[in-house]
Amino acid sequence: MPTSDLSHHQDHPQQDPRLDANVVSPARRWNYWLGGKDHFQVDRDSGDRIAGAYPAIRIAAQEGRAFHNRTIRFLAREAGIRQFLDIGTGLPAPDNTHEVAQAITPQARVVYVDNDPMVLAHARALMIGSPEGATNYIDADLNDPVAILEAAELDTTLDLREPVAILLYAVLHFIRDDEHARKVVADLLAAVPAGSYLVATNSTKDFVPPQIAAMYEQMLAKGLVDAWPRDSATFGRFFDGLQLIEPGVVPISEWRPATAEHASPAEVSMYGAVGLKQ
Kindly report, residue by residue over 143-199, the tens digit of the pLDDT: 999 999 999 999 999 999 999 999 999 999 999 999 999 999 999 999 999 999 999
Report residue 13's pLDDT band, with 50, 70 and 90 as the boundaries. Answer: very low
Mean pLDDT of 124-136: 73
pLDDT of 6 > 80? The answer is no
pLDDT of 14 > 50? The answer is no
Angle, CA 270 vertex, CA 90 and CA 246 arms, to 5°? 105
Sign of CA dihedral 257, 259, 265, 267: negative
Q: What is the pLDDT of residue 37?
A: 76
More confident: 217 or 196 = 196
Q: Dihedral, CA atoms, 27, 3, 218, 184, nearest 10 degrees?
A: 0
pLDDT above 90 covers a percentage of the chain that reads 57
pTM, to two decimals: 0.85
| pLDDT digit string, tens, across residues 91-108 | 766 788 999 999 999 999
Report residue 128's pLDDT band, with 50, 70 and 90 as the boundaries. Answer: low
Three-class HEC string of the chain: CCCCCCHHHHHCHHHCCCCCCCCCCHHHHHHHHCCCCCCCHHHHHHHHHHHHHCCCHHHHHHHHHHHHHHHHHHHHHHCCCCEEEEECCCCCCCCCHHHHHHHHCCCCEEEEEECCHHHHHHHHHHCCCCCCCEEEEEECCCCCHHHHHCCHHHHHHCCCCCCCEEEECCCHHHCCCHHHHHHHHHHHHHCCCCCCEEEEEEECCCCCCHHHHHHHHHHHHCCCCCCCCCCHHHHHHHHCCCEECCCCCEEHHHCCCCCCCCCCHHHHCEEEEEEECC
Report residue 4's pLDDT band, with 50, 70 and 90 as the boundaries. Answer: very low
Mean pLDDT of 222-238: 92
Which range of 27-41, 102-116, 176-190 scores highest in mean pLDDT? It is 176-190
Question: Which range has the worst mean pLDDT, 48-62, 71-85, 144-158, 226-240?
Answer: 48-62
Report residue 127's pLDDT band, with 50, 70 and 90 as the boundaries. Answer: low
Q: What is the rounded distance in angstroms from the CA atom of residue 113 to the CA atom of residue 120? A: 8
- Cis status of the peptide bond prior to 106, with omega within 30 of 0: no
Phi, psi dihedral angles at 202 (to 5 degrees): -160, 140
**Average pLDDT over all residues of the chain:** 87
Q: What is the pLDDT of residue 34?
A: 78
More confident: 16 or 269 = 269
Structural domains in the chain, CATH included, are 57-276 (3.40.50.150)
